[in-house]
Chain A
């Protein structure tokens, strides 16, 4: 027995090591590709759709660190997104002197606080009960926008949110990247409307790389492993010495903060906030995206967001007039598509794909092993 163990040590060690390392090179190609895409794609409608998808990548990735990783499946992620967005909008409405970045930071903080407020009472809830609780919080927030209609606008939302181009940081950053990628002359020659599309495209991209990169570092690292252990079996995690409360709450707060950030930035890019940012539809769409791409891998929901949102906001409209006339058919189609995907690839599409691209095991999530499961 000791013989076998000693003999197996080096190979087992190096093999195990590979399980825990995502393929960084492969993953870095995605933002690089997106960075240079506007140089070759002149279709600004498509670029706009990609910007929205980039925002949704943050929605989905932030959902994943809470739900995919820790197993606290939230059906009310829109609550955090909407909180961030509405906070930013309220600053524009009542304190326009406050800088965009400060308003965004406030959005992050308020969303994080909501994360604590929901996370603490939800610590003891699991499965459908947790789902219901999170769902009702988002629902309650929608009602609050009607109760405080004067301030929050009810179904009209709030218009005139200070946009990214006005931001002291985001403005120059977005313009700088636009000039870098397109060339200063090309960028300068665009209409202000198109310029705004480019600026918001790059700001969204940069934010996404930071948020998703950060979440992946965490998720694929040691702390991510601990989060996954909670998702796998709470009692076993406790027996392994995991401080359950601390980790579960931290996941709630981090997820809420990232969602609030993405929501706030989305508000600044759109220039408006409305009930769609708090809606059940949004929460459901995020879950569909995550399951489609592969929950519990960060990268899966991230890529899933591009696929689903581009289909929803761009390609389906061009595929058939049915979707233009009846946009509500889209989410139904996604649900159907998801069923098919989950039958074919129960772990979502992205993890097995990445695995095939870069060989056994290497692109896996921190926890990685699901990828090598025979199922």
Chain B
């Protein structure tokens, strides 16, 4: 059986800098994979390559065996790969509901788009803010909106770019519940995150990157004990790094 997502020797160079270096991995249907690494490890560049927002210099990215590289961004989204942004990008002047309606409209959703959008908002626990302008949302709610908009594209694979960045412990807890619910609904997840403790509670596999390369890939506990990973995190123990690790 083909994996849902396959990255094959993905390399991305910026001039002399190799931000992502021969990265290969697969993500199975229904999995929840964490992607970790220190700042500059190449996570975000890899993330952009996986979602069509950047083109790898070489290598291939496939969804169910079909290459995504030649597709324009909206077709990548249309084929089932959705993403959120580390720095949230709402449509600030649009009401929350309208933010979520946009992907539904371009997917030519049949029936009542507003009702569908509201359903998506309920999934992330944001239905009570449907009519608010998104510029009035708290950071935690903006992260939910980001997720709702991605979910509204009807993804098989959802890539979350630092969903916990900038959130309070409380907000992280609530958002984790939401993400767990998505997982239970069968959405395949790839999560880039610095807050490792919170991440490990969500994922069943971790890929660690350092200087553009994958240095460990496997069970969360095993990866976190991996000497290369510990070294990459400045030699400290993972728990301590979690405290210092956020941006």
**Same complex:** yes
Q: Within A234-285, which residues are at the interface with B (CB < 8 Å)?
A: 235-245
Inter-chain contact B133/A373, CB cutoff 8 Å:
yes
Known: A1-B174, A241-B103, A242-B106. A12 touches B128 (CB 8 A): yes
B98's closest neighbor in chain A, by CB?
A225
Interface size on B, residues (CB 8 A): 51
Q: Which residues of B contact A240 (CB under 8 A)?
A: 77, 102-103, 106, 149-150, 152-153
Tell me which of A3-11, A76-84, A120-128, A146-154 binds B.
Answer: A3-11
B74 at the interface (CB under 8 A from A): yes
A374: CB under 8 A from chain B?
A: yes
Residues of chain B in range 115-131 having any CB-CB distance to chain A below 8 Å = 115, 118, 121-122, 125-131
Interface residue? B245 (CB, 8 A): no
**How far is A8 from B149 in the complex, measured between Cα atoms in Å?**
19
Q: Interface size on A (CB < 8 Å)?
A: 44
Nearest-CB distance from B215 to chain A (Å)? Answer: 29
| Chain B at the A interface: SS class | helix
Looking at the assembled complex, report how far the CB atom of A126 sits from the nearest CB atom of chain B, in whole angstroms: 16
* Smallest Cβ-Cβ distance to A296: which chain B residue: B93
Of A13-21, A33-41, A167-175, the one with at least 4 CB within 8 A of chain B:
A13-21
**Residue B134, interface by CB 8 Å:** yes
The verdict on A211 contacting chain B, using a C-beta distance below 8 Å, is no
| A370→B133 contact, CB < 8 A | yes
The CA of A245 and the CA of B74, in the complex, are separated in Å by 10
**A236-B85, A369-B98 in contact; A16/B93 too (CB < 8 A)?**
no
User: Is A367's beta carbon under 8 Å from chain B?
Assistant: yes
Q: Which of B51, B82, B90, B127 contacts A8 (CB 8 A)?
A: B127
Task: Report the minimal beta-carbon distance from B12 to chain A, rounded to whole angstroms.
Answer: 18
Q: State whether A222 touches B135 (Cβ < 8 A).
A: no
- Answer whether residue A45 sits at the interface, using C-beta atoms and an 8 A cutoff: no
Please name all residues of chain B whose beta carbon is closer than 8 Å to the beta carbon of A15 when the two chains form the complex: 130-131
Partner of B89, one of A7, A16, A233: A233
**A interface residues with partner B (beta carbon < 8 Å):** 1-2, 4-9, 12-13, 15-20, 222-223, 225-226, 228-229, 232-233, 235-245, 361, 366-370, 372-374
Contacts A226-B102, A226-B106, A233-B92 known; 13 new A-B pairs at CB < 8 A: A2-B122, A4-B125, A15-B131, A19-B98, A225-B101, A232-B92, A239-B83, A239-B149, A240-B77, A241-B77, A242-B74, A244-B74, A374-B136
29 contacts across the A-B interface (CB closer than 8 A): A7-B128, A8-B130, A12-B129, A13-B118, A15-B130, A15-B131, A16-B97, A16-B131, A19-B97, A19-B131, A222-B113, A225-B102, A229-B99, A232-B90, A237-B91, A238-B73, A239-B77, A239-B85, A239-B153, A240-B150, A243-B74, A245-B72, A366-B98, A367-B91, A369-B95, A369-B132, A369-B133, A373-B93, A373-B136
